[in-house]
Copies of this chain bind each other. A is one copy, B any other.
Amino acid sequence: MRTARPPGPGLERLSLNQITAERASFPQAVEACARHGVPYIAVWRHKLAETGLDRAVRLVRDAGVRVSSVCRGGMFPATTRAAREGRIEDNRRAVDEAAALGAPVLVLVCGAALPPDKDIAAARRMVADGISELAPYAAERGVRLGIEPMHPAFAAERSCITTLSEARCLAERFDPTSVGLVADVYHIWWDPALYEELARAAGRLVGFHVSDWLVPGGDVLMNRGMMGDGVIELRRIRGAVERAGYGEGPIEVEIFNEAVWSTPLDTLLPLIKERYLACV
């Protein structure tokens, strides 16, 4: 039974990244997308673990909501070989989940610089090695790996891959049908080479995430804002992303913010749609 309301004009690419509805269960988030005409959802693995993969697959299929991506694979650096192999194995499970959900992309948050030996160059090599191991497995299952360069404020804890330039150079070691880039405005808006780098990423972009950078800032993880509430030139960046060949794929709204998380979905989703149309 497909219950999804069709998306309104201009909303055909809209995806609710599930972290934006962190307080909602998987069934609640999917049902809200269907009811509010949000055609895509991006699935987080901790939500998937709560729900179970088979049930999750049924829920999105029955609701008629498509899965834009699975968040997140990656986290390749670790201090021992055994730990690194464990991370690869976990990434294979993430690929399996993406394939089962019909998600074309597994988003890679590549992993942190390693505090014990402080060797960020070594962490970067572990990321490259990890993607090399994972890419053939993902390609066989029809899932593209999307390297998401993250804001430099997350370099020590989430991703030693920080800039579009660095992510592109890494992605270019692989076939573009298997490894691409995810552009998230929150992570890249400040980059003095932003527009040149988006142009250079042509043909490699497999995802586009929107939110906003609030002023004044605070905790860099939780300070993302609703589109239009901050300083990011969303329209201009979207234009550059489209010129780089990502003109039809889903656009995910991904917001880590307690106030957003505390907003009921029936208030939040109309606001997301309104701001998406007005600002993105």
Contacts and interface: CB of A to CB of B under 8 A. Distances in A.
B153 A217 contact: yes
A280 to B, nearest CB: 13
> Main secondary structure on chain A at its contact with chain B?
loop
A233 interface: yes
Nearest to A152: B190
A151 interface: yes
A128 B162 CA distance: 26
A161 B239 CA distance: 23
The interface centre, meaning the residue of A155, A219, A230, A232 with most chain B CB atoms within 10 A of its CB, is A155
B231 A191 contact: no
A192 B163 contact: yes
Contact of A162 (B157, B192, B220): B192
Given A118-B231, A163-B192, A156 B220 contact: no
Contact of A152 (B115, B151, B157, B216): B151
A96 to B, nearest CB: 31
A166 interface: yes
Nearest to A234: B118
A153 B154 CA distance: 10
A98 interface: no
Contact of A215 (B115, B161, B163, B219): B115
B219 A218 contact: yes
The interface centre, meaning the residue of A119, A154, A161, A163 with most chain B CB atoms within 10 A of its CB, is A163
Interface of A: 113-115, 118-120, 124, 151-157, 160-163, 165-166, 189-193, 213, 215-220, 230-233
